[in-house]
Amino acid sequence: MSPRSCLLILPFVILVPSLRGEEKPASATARGDRLLDGYFRSQVKRIAEADLAEIRTRAEWEKKRPEYRQQFLDSIGLWPLPPRTDLHATVTGKVETDLFTVEKLHFQSRPGLYVTANLYVPKRAKLPAPAVVYVCGHANVVLDKVSYGSKVYYQRHGAWFAEHGYVCLVLDTLELGEIPGEHHGTYSRGMWWWQALGYTPAGVECWNAMRGLDYLQTRKEVDAKKLGITGRSGGGATSWWVAAADDRVQCIVPVAGITDLQCHVLEGVVPRLRDGVISGHCDCMYPVNTYRWDFAHVAALCAPRPLLLGNSDADDIFPVAGYRRLADKARKIYALYGATDRFQLLETKGPHKDTPELRVGAFRWMNRWLKNDLGEVRDDEPAKLTPRQLKVFDRPPADARNASIHESFVQAAKIEQPQSAEVAREWWKGRAPELTQELRSRVFRNWPEHPPVPNARLVHDVKRDGIRLRAYDFVSEEQVELRLWLTTADNGSKPSNVIVNILDEAGWKEWIADLGPAFQEALQTADAPKRDEARFAQLRKTLQTHKWAFATVTPRGIGPTRWSEVSQFDGKPRGQQIRRRFALLGQTLDSRRVWDARRALACLRDVPDLKGVPRWLQGKNDMAGIALYAALFEPEVERLDLWHLPASHRQGPIFLNVLRVLDVPQAVALALPRKVRLHVKDDAEAKAWDWPIQLQEKLGQDNIQIQRVPD
């Protein structure tokens, strides 16, 4: 069987390309856009209403806080915390001014992960002094193709703190430091496997700053009980990541890095961001939202330590409404401690810019809580040092792993099977249910807990030329209604098997071409091409001879629910931003498509003439992965036909955290003892499945079979 078309079932059939359908009519994309918008709005509303809603007393909060801390660390790839390896801190030079010394230094937050920094040490302060970690935003200084890091752009902050009695460590970011790393894996690089690994550069930035705190605690000039953190934009986000993760921080000022989930997913204030301000942010701004938090949860983990949220009222990537809603929620947690004076929202006039008003507010807050100084604060501008004066390295170290740290910062699961058949049988007997449970709790934890009934409704029943096509509309989840098509011979006989095809966009276009205009109303298309009579006759013969029924489903975003490929607001491609928005809901588009496939199977249970009829499930490429995972949670599926299944989740399909549990070969093994047919094009593709084949041999089974077919 092949999911490309119901015609390509028999192994002897030559694969002949179908006529391709034209682009979806406007009504189809309009339908998909409405589905997408309604779904995102309902999901954001659920998350926002639930966020911190269960907390009513301080005792309840303090009981839950350790769990929330662990969830947060897990969401940025830091649970369990990595070992605190030797920092190998090295000062490569010093710059002397009248009021402070700047030490140019680097340390390794993990072996080979270099952090370049400038340490501003005051000359006229009483030591040990309070210390501040300043986390830079995205403002690299590059001259003649040489990166000097963002610490050059933000040097005035380090200088101000040093001139006013603080030690200040100004940290470069991973992406915009002297040794560039990567912040844009899902934003623009197509590295969707970051989501499958549960990786985010937010975790790297947080860990680098936490190790910066470790370094400050080694310095005799620093009062380790008076540590603060601040930064703006990307550094503003990192500031509260660190404070949420590390109680050593005693004063927190995130600046221009704060808004809530509603703004990130749904609302912008300028046309280019009307689909949510996420399209204006790189990946360092986001945890992997496995636990479906709104951002007030992060601020709440700072309580009752002094927290000032600094924002500007014309900041188009951190809108006013979002940070005000967030502040209202976080303030309630501070109130439980009787510490509302320790939480404030500083809202100033201006755009997304490092303004004097924001700087003064941050300086004043640090003075108040780290030095008990309520005096006047002025935004003095110190003399600038040159980029060359602040550069740490003459040349990057040979062992630097910054550019590839996304490959190893979060470790993928490695599952080695025992060599002995006897041991393997007992091992798999226990390991298989453990892996299934991990998939439920870590990968698919945000499937609906109480889904609505499918409410399958027969909306079309068309009989043409010996073929009967029935169309059923069903509810997959709130705001998501899909259609399933059931194709049988028009002779009234009960099917012997139901073969469920999960189609991608290419498969959908081929399928409507196979059926032609006679069925186009039921297919929700107005432009089905003229059918190929030979292929149609073959389909009719297959249905009559084998007494098969074909059930066809296009998960959300495919076929009749395909959404627009470009933004209506600025005309730019929106596919990658849609996928990123799903991840902010603790999901991926692919995980919801697995759910859609499961619900299609539930829909079939309501069809009277299919009672007791065996179910087979099939898909091609990524849809083969969708079919595989749907079957793992639907025991009624007796057989799987998987065409060119990706060998790893690094290629697809993409599910949050799945690589921390298993990879595709282990998922294939979980389908046992059901029959699995892996349709491959050559020996190289076949070799990818050695792991499940070897395991089934030890289990004494022969249910996974590899079949070579044309590509």
Q: Are 486 and 495 in contact (CB under 8 A)?
A: no
Whether residues 597 and 473 share a domain: the answer is yes
The DSSP code sequence of 53-105 is TT--SHHHHHHHHHHHHHHHHHHTT-SSPPP------EEEEEEE-SSEEEEEE
Residue 25 confidence (pLDDT) above 50: no
Phi, psi of 15 (to 5 degrees): -80, 115
Q: How many domains does the chain have?
A: 3
Amino acid occupying residue 327: A
The fraction of the chain above a pLDDT of 70, given in percent, is 96
Considering the domain architecture, whether residues 163 and 85 belong to the same structural domain is answered as: yes
Rounded CA separation 116/485 (Å):
59
Residue at 397 is within a domain: no
Q: Residue 480 in contact with residue 466, Cβ under 8 Å?
A: no
Whether residues 345 and 456 share a domain: the answer is no
Residues 574 and 619 occupy one common structural domain: no
**3-class DSSP assignment, residue 545:** helix
Cβ atoms of residues 185 and 407 within 8 Å: no
Q: Which two tokens stand for residue 295?
A: 């951002």
Residue 27: predicted pLDDT: 65
Q: Is 156 helix (H, G, I), strand (E, B) or coil?
A: helix
Peptide bond preceding 653: is omega within 30 degrees of 0, i.e. cis? yes
Integer Cα distance of 96 and 102 in angstroms = 6
Average pLDDT of span 61-71: 98
Tell me, yes or no, whether 704 and 562 share the same domain.
no
Does any domain span residue 176? Answer: yes
Q: For residue 97, count CB atoms less than 10 angstroms from its CB and return exposed for 0-12, middle for 13-18, buried for 19 or more.
A: middle
How many other CB atoms are found less than 10 A from the CB of residue 364? Answer: 18
Q: Could you tell me which of 376, 382, 312 has the C-alpha nearest to residue 348? A: 312
Q: What is the pLDDT of residues 108-154, one digit of tens each?
A: 999 999 999 999 999 999 999 999 999 999 999 999 999 999 999 99
Q: Looking at residue 275, what is its pLDDT?
A: 87
Residues 351 and 285 in one domain: yes
**% of residues, the chain, pLDDT over 90:** 91
Do 440 and 351 belong to one domain? no
Note if the bond before 356 is cis, omega within 30 degrees: no
pLDDT in tens, 403-434: 999 999 999 999 999 999 999 999 999 999 99
Lowest mean pLDDT among 18-22, 560-564, 573-577: 18-22
The angle, 0 to 180 degrees and rounded to 10, between the axes of the packed helices 622-632 and 589-604 is 60
What span, in angstroms and rounded, lies between the C-alpha atoms of 82 and 76? 12
Domain boundary among 558, 592, 612: 612
Amino acid in the structure at residue 127: L
Is there a single domain that holds both residue 648 and residue 528?
A: no
pLDDT tens string 71-110: 999 999 999 999 999 999 999 999 999 999 999 999 999 9
Question: In Å, what is the CA distance from 390 to each residue of 380, 386, 463?
Answer: 20, 7, 77
Q: Distances in Å between the alpha carbon of 666 and those of 209, 415, 432, 672?
A: 37, 8, 9, 10
Last residue of a domain, one of 581, 612, 643: 612
Burial class (CB in 10 A: 0-12, 13-18, 19+), 489: buried
405 is a domain residue: no
> Has residue 23 got a pLDDT over 90?
no
pLDDT band for position 711 (50/70/90)? low
Query: At which of 612, 645, 668 does a domain end?
Result: 612
682 assigned to some structural domain: yes
Calculate Rg over the CA atoms of the chain: 29
Q: Is residue 639 part of a domain?
A: yes
Is residue 131 domain-shared with residue 36, that is, in the same domain?
Answer: no
Give domain status of residue 412, yes or no: no
CB 498 within 8 A of CB 552: no
| Helices 421-438, 690-698: crossing angle, 10 deg rounding | 120
In tens, the pLDDT along 569-604 reads: 778 889 999 999 999 999 999 999 999 999 999 999
- Both 659 and 593 in a single domain? no
Is the residue at 156 inside a domain? yes
DSSP labels for 245-260? H-TTEEEEEEES----
- Mean pLDDT, residues 175-204 taken together: 97
Residues 181 and 251 in one domain: yes
Task: Provide the domain limits for residue 635.
Answer: 425-444+614-711
Q: What is the CATH number of the domain that holds 369?
A: 3.40.50.1820
What does the pLDDT average to over 674-698?
97
Instruction: Assess contact for 149 and 141: CB atoms under 8 A.
Output: yes
* One-letter amino acid for residue 386 of the chain: T
Task: Give the per-residue pLDDT at 28.
Answer: 73
> 364 with 481, same domain?
no
Q: Report if residue 659 sits inside a domain.
A: yes
> Each residue of 215-239: pLDDT tens digit?
999 999 999 999 999 999 999 999 9
How crowded is residue 612: how many other Cβ atoms within 10 Å of its Cβ? 6
3-class secondary-structure state, position 12: coil
- Best CA proximity match to 274, nearest among 592, 586, 577: 577
Partners of residue 229 on adjacent β-strands: 133, 252
Q: How confident is the model at residue 267 (pLDDT cuts 50, 70, 90)?
A: confident
